[in-house]
A and B are shown apart, each in its own frame.
Chain A
Amino acid sequence: MAELQFREAINQAIAEEMRNDENVFICGEEVAEYNGAYKVTEGLLDEFGLKRVIDTPISELGFAGIGVGAAMNGLRPIVEFMTFNFAVVGIDQILNNAAKLRYMSGGQFTIPMVFRGPNASAGQLGATHSVSYESLYAHFPGLKVVYPSQPEDAKGLLKASIRDNNPVIFLESEQMYGMKQEVSDDEDFILPIGKGKVKRAGDDVTIVATGKMYHIAQQAAQQLSKDGVEVEIIDPRTIKPFDIETVIESVKKTNRLVIVDESHPFGGVAAEVGFQIQRDAFDYLDAPVLRVTVPDVPAPFAKNLFDLWLPGAKEIVDAVNTVTYRK
């Protein structure tokens, strides 16, 4: 065990899997010579050389497509996007080729690859660079979507994603790269995709929160605890397949659910989880399921508006107070 930053945990996962399997390679903007825009790929070029650590032109559609082609021919590419906001340019390769080729070829091809990079907002970056994409990718059959919130989950789930024979969207965050946690250095430390985790136990309200929002939920939990309200926080860690069972079990105990989701509300992950809970745990609900999301509005640039736009602990506390009928 060693205390690692989130970026180091990802770096370790990639390096271990590249040592473990010579078919694994990584490509993307600035991943090689510059050691990664956020230093996630630091040292990989030195260890694995230019053949397996490849700097690409600023052409997301092109290198995403190279990744898909490589995967079809038996390699296991890791395609890094400088941010998923840029992946929109290459999304045809992700949604139409990576996600559908196994299906359309009747299983003749598998696409064992990972698309990874920072997701969602990271401060004042403007409307086009602040989008949280988990709901969008989770909408499409054929893709797995992983969104870890902590270094240990990131390492275990990235290794699982690289070993998975399906395309995986692996979401990170610029604002989480510096977070530290004790992380297993076992070379076979794998966390299963599709398994959530109860990260804080409580009897009063269940909160589901992924990625950056998980940390906001923890802040809210601390404030609520002072008021005598103990929330249970579930980090699903994987958006798709979604571990609804863990949420159902928790809701049976707490009878209340608040979903925190950094993507927009309409048709988002929170909408899907809320739907499944009302269907499968209807008789256990003592209040309507509430969600805390960014509004149905693009991210503003101005700091005062951006702070209003991004969900914070206050909005979570308010939602918890509403479902517990405390206000």
Chain B
Amino acid sequence: MAIVIDMPKLSDTMEEGVIAKWNIKEGDEVSSGDIIAEVETDKATMDVEVFDAGTVLKIMADEGEAIPLGGKIAIIGEEGEDISDLLGDDDTDASDKSESNSGSDEKKDEQADKKSESKEDFDDPILGDLDKDKKQKAESSDDDESRIKASPLARKMAEEKRIKLSDVSGSGPNGRIVKADIESYEPSTSAESKTSVDVSKAPSAPMPEGEAYEDVRISQMRKTIAKRLAESKFTNPHFYETVDIDMSNAIEARGKLNEISDVKISYNDFVVKACAVALRKHPNVNVSWLGDVIRKHHRVHVAVAVAVDEGLLTPVIKNTDTKGLMQISKETKEMAGRAREKKLQPEEMEGSTFSISNLGMFGIEDFTAIINPPNAAILAVGAIRDVPVVKDGEVVPGKRMKVTLSSDHRVVDGATSAEFLNTVKDLLENPMGMLL
């Protein structure tokens, strides 16, 4: 019995994977546990392990080819076995085709809010009161507008096509979303499509004739960055708050700490620690907007954005608030190093409750960052600058650092952010507070 190897789900957020390298060719013998391919996901290049033994009968994807999650990549079985029936289209494709054929008639008729007139309803006059009851019940259930009504098929199709049911308007009775609604759904033309941002449908860019340019293949990481950040920026109502922090005490503390510490503690480590402590103190910032509920995270996991060749990655320092500066420094350095080598495992980049982006080392004074979903906020950290400050009525040299907090206004309000930010500022201006 031949076995089809599908594109596995190697990270929480991957939707497709690119075959980076095949380790097998058709005709090879494989046994359980063999690494048959390397697949580039949105986060890292991962090994694909085979769980069965047999002969490689067919390789169904080329190196460099992007295959959607669950798509066939290879078939393994006994030599000489007939696999012709496995070579066809994926089931999902086939059913999509037949559905779109049969659905065309229904699109014409969109007003469909009438009661069914099957034979059962037909004898209403005989059943009289009973039926009245039934109608009243049906009507009262309509009041519940929060529930999206959709046929089971429409739900399944929406899931397969990654369409949010909340974006689709239903044409069936009581606004039920039916197959025809999913088939005719077009995110780009829908005025109400506030959440579905299709970055692949970017505007075309006509170029004057004779211009020199090249079109570069979009990496999985770039696709993910484009999709997630576009979605975040276009759907999360961001607002920004900036504070200027006196870093002179932090600089002094860092100098002293680095005399005794094994690892060199950076200013960023101070910021990470200050944010973690502040998040514990302001749990209303340590939350996620999930559409139907607000999730309050009981743990604090701070992600730190790390620039890599093709884009950026966000390794997560788990339980950040319970770790000391040295531990934070060690973990950050170690994970950032592996991030640059693309060796970070997907689970090391998942589960953050807050993120920090630091461009201080590039001399950026201040900037705004895009929230890393499903976080509620991100802190953008600028460079420490030598500036003249007024102290006790005199102009004296000062060390200042600007940080800007981007918050998701659906879950965090201005005052909440301000309180959080002031705690961060206090902690960095009096680093001893972080020890408490």
Contacts and interface: CB of A to CB of B under 8 A. Distances in A.
Interface of A: 203-204, 228-229, 252-255, 258, 265, 282-288, 290-297, 308, 311, 315, 318-319, 322, 324-327
B151 A319 contact: no
Contacts of B179: 255, 286
Nearest to A319: B118
B120 A291 contact: yes
Contacts of B178: 286-287, 325
A319 B116 contact: yes
Contact of B151 (A252, A287, A294, A322): A287
A285 B171 contact: no
Enumerate the 9 nearest inter-chain pairs by beta-carbon distance, A residue then B residue, closest first: A295-B123, A322-B116, A325-B112, A203-B102, A318-B117, A286-B153, A286-B179, A292-B119, A286-B151
Given A229-B105, A293-B119, A325-B172, 19 more contacts: A203-B98, A203-B101, A203-B102, A252-B95, A254-B102, A255-B153, A255-B179, A286-B152, A286-B153, A286-B154, A287-B178, A291-B119, A293-B120, A319-B117, A322-B117, A325-B109, A325-B178, A326-B109, A326-B112
Contacts of B112: 325-327
A204 B119 contact: no
A315 B118 contact: yes
Given A253-B98, A286-B153, A295-B126, A325 B180 contact: yes
B172 A297 contact: no
A327 B108 CA distance: 12
B152 A285 contact: yes
A229 B105 CA distance: 8
Contacts of A254: 102
Interface in B80-121: 95, 98-99, 101-102, 105-106, 109, 112, 114, 116-120
Contacts of A228: 105
A325 B171 contact: yes
B118 A318 contact: yes
A283 B120 contact: no
Task: Determine the main DSSP class of A at the interface with B.
Answer: loop
B85 to A, nearest CB: 17
Given A255-B179, A285-B153, A327-B114, A311 B119 contact: yes
B105 A290 contact: no
B119 A294 contact: yes
A286 B155 CA distance: 9
15 contacts: A254-B102, A285-B151, A285-B152, A286-B152, A287-B178, A290-B118, A295-B123, A297-B123, A308-B122, A318-B117, A319-B116, A319-B117, A319-B119, A322-B114, A326-B112
Nearest to A297: B126
A229 B102 CA distance: 10
Interface in B162-207: 171-173, 178-180
B165 to A, nearest CB: 14
A170 B432 CA distance: 92
B152 A204 contact: no
Contacts of B171: 325
A307 B241 CA distance: 76
A311 B172 CA distance: 25
Interface string B216-232: 00000000000000000
A103 B153 CA distance: 42
Contacts of A327: 112, 114, 117
A4 B427 CA distance: 98
Contacts of B105: 204, 228-229, 324
B121 to A, nearest CB: 9
Contacts of B116: 288, 290, 318-319, 322
A315 B152 contact: no
Contacts of A283: 152-153, 155-156
A292 B121 CA distance: 10
A287 B170 CA distance: 13
Given A229-B105, A283-B156, A286-B151, A291 B98 contact: no
B237 to A, nearest CB: 36
